Amino acid sequence: MSETPNSSKISVLIAEAESELKKVSDTPRLDAEILLAKALETGRFELWAKSGETVSGKEREIFGLFVARRMNFEPVAYITNEKEFFEDTFFVDRRVLIPRPESEFTVEEAVSALKNAGKAEVLDICCGSGCIGLSVKRMTDCSLTLSDISEDALDVARINAKRLFPDHNDILFVQSDLFENIAGEFDVITANPPYLSNEDMKNFVVKDLEFEPENAFFGGENGFEITEKIIGSVSKFLKPDGVFITELGYEGQAFLKETASGLKLLKTVRDYSGITRVAVFMKTQENY
């Protein structure tokens, strides 16, 4: 079939891609718009104003490659190397977990805990792309330590720190298996540890999720082992009245009663789906 001028119009390309992407995505229209905006090096909302314009052959080819990758279940964020989170757009690739909207609850709780703290010390453990810690820094006056067991993840976090805070010298990067290489005490410690069990990995890590790093998902046989280790040690690294905020898996709340020794559970926070997603603790006085 010969190509007509109309076949290269932005509106037509989006509609055609949307039709294809329905086979693999729950958000085919959104995916198509984000991918075409990336191919055209423009903003998604600018596409609406340009919907009647035509796309060059080279740009259409790039868009076609993007759509083909998405048809293979590759997440949009890895195709574009971008993911919006809180107030910023973060660089991401297959070395790190893609930031989720649910993790913004952790940021909000950390910002709330620091609202009267002045210059604070913050540690973001299991930091991945750095999205939680860097978002806290965006909203507060803090010195930030970003820590992860994966040096690859820390490389991505460094990219994001340089992009978002090019003039700051108060961000420290530490390669560490949990607290192994961490020194000092902090006003707030945040964590988004892996929390999927063996069974969860079999049932849920399919299609899109298979592109993301396995070590960012797997939390041990019951899914809570890494979180338990963090909770068991975190009070040693908190200042008096310091706050620890962690993201939880689907069954995380069930483990908290047995594992939160040395910490006082202040609150839990439900996410957009009603799942208990975040737990907020304070260091108890017997640990001062």
| pLDDT score recorded for residue 222 | 80
Percent of the chain topping pLDDT 70: 92
The better pLDDT of the pair 119, 21 is held by 21
Q: Is the pLDDT of residue 183 over 70?
A: yes
Q: At residue 227, does pLDDT exceed 80?
A: yes
What is the average pLDDT across 151-158? Answer: 98
Q: How confident is the model at residue 218 (pLDDT cuts 50, 70, 90)?
A: confident
DSSP track, the chain: ----GGGGBHHHHHHHHHHHHTTT-S-HHHHHHHHHHHHHTS-HHHHHHTTTSB--HHHHHHHHHHHHHHHTT--HHHHHTEEEETTEEEE--TTSPPP-GGGHHHHHHHHHHTTT-SSEEEEEES-TTSHHHHHHHHHS-EEEEEEES-HHHHHHHHHHHHHH-TT---EEEEE-STTTT--S-EEEEEE----B-HHHHHHH--GGGGGS-GGGTB--TTS-HHHHHHHHHGGGGEEEEEEEEEE--TTHHHHHHHH-TTEEEEEEEE-TTS-EEEEEEEE-GGG-
2 pLDDT higher than 50: no
Please compute the mean of the pLDDT values over residues 47-53 and round it to a whole number. Answer: 83
Structural domains in the chain, sorted by start = 5-72 (1.10.8), 94-287 (3.40.50.150)
Q: Is the pLDDT of residue 260 over 70?
A: no
Query: In the predicted model, what is the mean pLDDT of residues 148-157?
Result: 97
Q: Is the pLDDT of residue 262 over 90?
A: no
* pTM, entire model: 0.91
Segment 56-64 mean pLDDT? 94
Q: Which of these ranges, 1-10, 18-27, 156-165, 226-235, has the smallest mean pLDDT?
A: 1-10
Mean pLDDT of the chain: 90
